[in-house]
Amino acid sequence: MMVLGIVLFALGIMVSIVLHEYGHMRVAQWSGMKVRRFFVGFGPTVWSVRRGGIEYGLKAVPLGGFCDIAGMTAYDELAPEDEPRAMWRQAWWKRVAVLLAGPAMNIVLAIALFYTVALGWGLVNRDVQPIPTDRVAAVVGDTCAGADRCGVGVGPAGEAGILAGDRITSVDGLPVDSWSDLSEVVSARPGQTVPVTLDRAGETVTTTASLTSSSVGGQERGALGVQLSEEGIPQEILDDPAYQTVNTYDALGAVPATFVFTGEMIEATIDGLISFPSKIPAVAASIFGAERADDSPVSVVGASHIGGQAAEQGAWWLFLLFLAGLNLFLGAFNLVPLTPFDGGHIAVVFYEKIRDALRRLRGLAPGGPADYEKLAPITIGVFVLLMGVSAIVITADFVNPILLTG
């Protein structure tokens, strides 16, 4: 199942790339521009075919793709019959529409995947509220509470004398006002022996528990061996969406929920994109044995490996969510205002518009197409930097991949 998941996720990435470039191609055609080539991958051509004046093909390195539109810059060599259809000759809004179409397709695909998850499994409630204090009860776990205590007795809670029905009010002197509070306090104290105060049918009981320690996502976390009990909690509390970690929807209700969730994920994606450069040194360090953070950048290799792990665990909802999140990141990354990204070409279009507006105020004629030769050093620098970062991340994905916890 792991291999199948990797293959399926890699195909998902391929489909995402194809749809991105298809967005560019279709809007270019609708705008009257000439599309010459549509390829998936880079490097030597593996296969190609010509249909309707467009060469479609597959190249040897499937790490991207491109849609070749005639005359993206005034320096492109064009056949005489293609001159009127050159991209740089078209209205500014048509050029921007073509450039935005690729990232827009990634966003549309992400929305479709989020909607699928909403219908099939439900969406994570990012604003989940902790169950009120007087609704929290503790139930002793009857299995291990940590990797080093698996199969031994009833775990630290049982050894400490905690009983089903007890309400935990403090741990290590810190008040526990909800189940999330309890989880946070206990998780931060792996392997420690801490005092625990209980409310047992109105009587205050104090005991001591030796928390277990287990590794979750590369971090050591403590465990007490208790579970949340629904006993005594009114049904209206259990049914209230505010207290649900996952909200489920019907086909109609999933629509607004999907757009709200997409908005939240776009915000998280932008934050991740801003923090992207600062995470690269840690990724490089992970190649040489340093711990790799769960939220560190991944390449196509690492993303496919995570997708394979999700499939192996039967977490297809996670598989789809990760693919959707990857599409949002690809869309946002392509809008970075630097050439050769789509956002860089959009920036050039707006530069031309602003420059010509200022020239008109001075009684001058429009300045013509931007000089892309002056942007060549920036373009080459960005490309070299991108290749270097890609090499670091791909290497880390091979030698120190991100592992999902089961």
Q: Which residues pair with 66 in a beta bridge?
A: 39
Residue 21 appears among annotated catalytic residues: yes
Cα–Cα distance measured from residue 233 to residue 243, given in angstroms and rounded to the nearest whole number = 12
Contact 215, 147 (CB under 8 A): yes
Angle at 400 between CA 396 and CA 406, to 5 degrees: 130
Q: Which of 21, 184, 230, 231 is catalytic?
A: 21
Burial code of 358-368, b = ≥16 C-beta within 10 A, e = fewer?
Answer: eeeeeeeeeee
Cα–Cα distance measured from residue 298 to residue 309, given in angstroms and rounded to the nearest whole number = 14
**Which amino acid does the sequence have at 310?**
A
Q: Which two tokens stand for residue 282?
A: 């840690």
Coil, strand or helix at 234: coil
Residue 12 main-chain phi, psi, to 5 deg: -60, -40
Q: DSSP readout, 340-392?
A: TSHHHHHHHHHHHHHHHHHHHHTTPPP--S--HHHHHHHHHHHHHHHHHHHHH
Contact 351, 343 (CB under 8 A): no
Q: Which two tokens stand for residue 401?
A: 């991949």
Cα–Cα distance measured from residue 352 to residue 346, given in angstroms and rounded to the nearest whole number = 10
- Torsion angle, alpha carbons of 376, 378, 379, 384, to 10: 120
Instruction: State which H helix or E strand residue 98 sits in.
Output: helix 92-120
Cα–Cα distance measured from residue 133 to residue 167, given in angstroms and rounded to the nearest whole number = 9
State how far Cα 181 lies from the chain centre.
27
Residues whose CB falls within 8 Å of the CB of residue 317, separated by 6 or more in sequence, listed in order:
117, 120, 121
Contact 380, 339 (CB under 8 A): no
Residue with tokens 């625990």: 196
Catalytic residues: 21
